[in-house]
Structure formats: structure tokens, C-alpha cells
Structure 1
Amino acid sequence: MSNHARAERAALCETLLLTGPSAPTLCEGWDTSDLAAHLVLRESRPDAQVGIYLPPLSGHATSVQQQLAALPWEQLVERLRGGPPVWNPMRWGVLDELTNTAEFFVHHEDVRRAQPGWEPRDLHPDLEAALWRNCAMTGRLGMRRADVGVELVATGLGRTTVKRGHPSVRVEGPAAELLLFCFGRRDVAQVSLDGPNEAVDALRQAPSGL
């Protein structure tokens, strides 16, 4: 596994062990055992993974996730720590970086920021840059249902328009916070929004496209 994806996976697993299996997360309706089970399912159970995206098959995905969530906590976390099975291409370095760095960063923050007294982490510039590279695609998907234009401005890294439209809103902050905003974690993402009041309100209330 590549460095950023591996590091975020390991950091998430350590946080999970600290919080325990019944701690809250930012994922509505899920505690930490549900979230860990979802991540294990995502990379080790392709028969159930399709149910995440296809509603007619969601029952099987739910059943498998519940079975995984019922495993002893340390065993479930160790399965997550071990990464994808050898047959899964997500285990390969480049693909792991592309598919897992943002995924594990966001879900790590889903756990951290649901706990009282959380503070933003001091991230290495290389990780900030990697998260910024994810923002363009994630932003286009996450903002596609917004009725306003959206420009992302990452502190020290650049800017990109992810949704064209008028009026437009500029969303500015560290790349990590922009990524969380694009993933729909708008209540906890530490960003500033600049634009007409009606446009800012519309963006805050727009459903996530992810």
C-alpha cells in the first residue's frame, strides 16, 4: 500500500481502538463498529459491495455489514488494518493511493470529529497536497447538485472551479477541510464561504452528490 493510504489506515485503526466499538461517528446511523464493518466490506466482499450502489441489492450488503460489525472488536479492527485481500487491485500501490487516501482520511475524521473536544490535526504538507489532488474530482461529484457555481481555494496550493454557475461561491481553507466539505461534512469542515448571501445559503443546504 502507498504511504498516505497506509498511514491514514493505520491512524484510523488506532483511533478506533481508542474510541471502542460503540462510539459515535459523523455517518448518520453508524457507530464505530458499523463504520469499520463498512470499510472491511468495501474491500473484501465484492458480492456485498455492489449493494452499496444498487438499492435492489442493499439488503445483502446490510446483512454482511451487520455480520462484520458483530465480530469481536479487536478482530474487526485488525481485519481493517490488514488491508484488502491479495486478489483486490486496491492493494496495489498506485491504485491504493487513488482509492484509499481520501476515503480513509475522511472516515478517520468521521470518528475524530464526532468525539467531544476534537481539534484539527496538523497534517504534513505532502498529505495536504495529496488531499488537494482529490478535491477536483470529489468536488465535481459532491457539488453537482448545487444550484450555484463553486470554486475551491486551497491555502497555498491553488484553486479550481468544480461547478460552473451564477451566482458563485468561493470555498476557501486547507485542502483537508475542503475535501471534508466536498464529502458533505459541511458542519465540521473549517472553511470560509464567500459570495452572495443567498448563494452561500443555497450551497450550505444543497444535498451532497456523493
Structure 2
Amino acid sequence: MVKIYALAVLYKGVNNASLLKAAYSLQSFSIFQRNSVQEFMAFVSKTIVERTQPSARQSVKEGEYMLQVYVRHDNLAGVLISDHEYPNRVAHTLITKILDEFSASVPPTSWATAEENTVDFHVLPQYLTKYQNPKEADALTKIQNDLDETKIILHDTIKAVLERGEKLDDVVAKTESLSMQSKLFYKTARKTNSCCNF
């Protein structure tokens, strides 16, 4: 079954990305893993937005996951994390719709200063539920013709997105946005090659 694990709206600042609002569907993970998985998905979302140029779209395959990212010209960004079955075009259409609605309801002057995941954008969890089935988004895809003119860069792994010589293990070790528990979870998952193969 097709699955969306996360939808997130972020703001790409000069040196980092901040998470404005996120929604997660983590029922397929054990209850003991959910906090670490959520924290790691937020971390990966920020990392990929920081490494995506404004007015660009990227799709990144990593293990059993697909990360779709779009950073608009105004540095508002959207990330969708799903399995490989979720169609790229539908994911990018959904991200565009979410960002358009977000920018219409949340003043741009608050994006750079908002506290982590505190912006009131109550429709994000509803979209996460509604668009689990990509057929629901087919109408969106038919309406949205802008994507035809937009090139989506596809990467096979997140390593291709990182700066030359940079390793995800090093980025995880250096970051202060992950708890020790999540860093340990990442290392364990890497060793066992199970849940989070980011």
C-alpha cells in the first residue's frame, strides 16, 4: 500500500532551515521508535531543504523512502516523505498546493522568526490523511500544469545531495537538533539496515 510518512513546511534561512509545521503518519513503526523516527525525519527535511536551491525541486531515493522537496523563490519549502510507490509528480503537485495555501494563510513576515513547528496551519494533518491515496490527488495533477515546465532533479541517495566530501554520519554527529536517543537510533538503524535507511 502506498504510504506518506511526513508532510512538512519549512523556511530556508541564510544558514539553516526552520520547520514551520509538520504532520507525520508513523503507525507502521513501533511505538518505541516513533519519537526517534519523527525527529530524524524533521532533521532530514531540514538538511535537504538547506541543500536545495530556491526555485528548485528534488526527489531523493534513500533506501525504502522517497523524499520530495520544493524550495520556492521566496524560500518557503515543502517536503513529502513517502515510500517509492507514491508518484513523484503527484507528490510535487501536493507540495505546491500546500505551499500556496500556507503562504495565503500565514504572513511571510512571520516565516523567519516562527518557533519550531508552532505555526497554525491546521489543514496539514488533514492533507496527510486525505492524500495517502495518490488517486485523490489526481484532480490536483490535472489542474496543475506548471510542473510540466519544471525540472525535478532525481538523486539516488541522500549522499548525492550532501556537499562534496560530506557524510550523513558526520552531519548527524555534528547536529544539535537531534537528541542523543535519535542519534543512537540512527546508528543502530544504519548497522541493522532496518527502519530508517536515510
TM-score, normalised on structure 2? 0.31
Higher strand share: 2
TM-score, normalised on structure 1? 0.30
Higher helix share: 1
Comparing both chains, which one has the higher relative contact order based on Cα–Cα distances under 8 Å and sequence gaps of 6 or more? 2
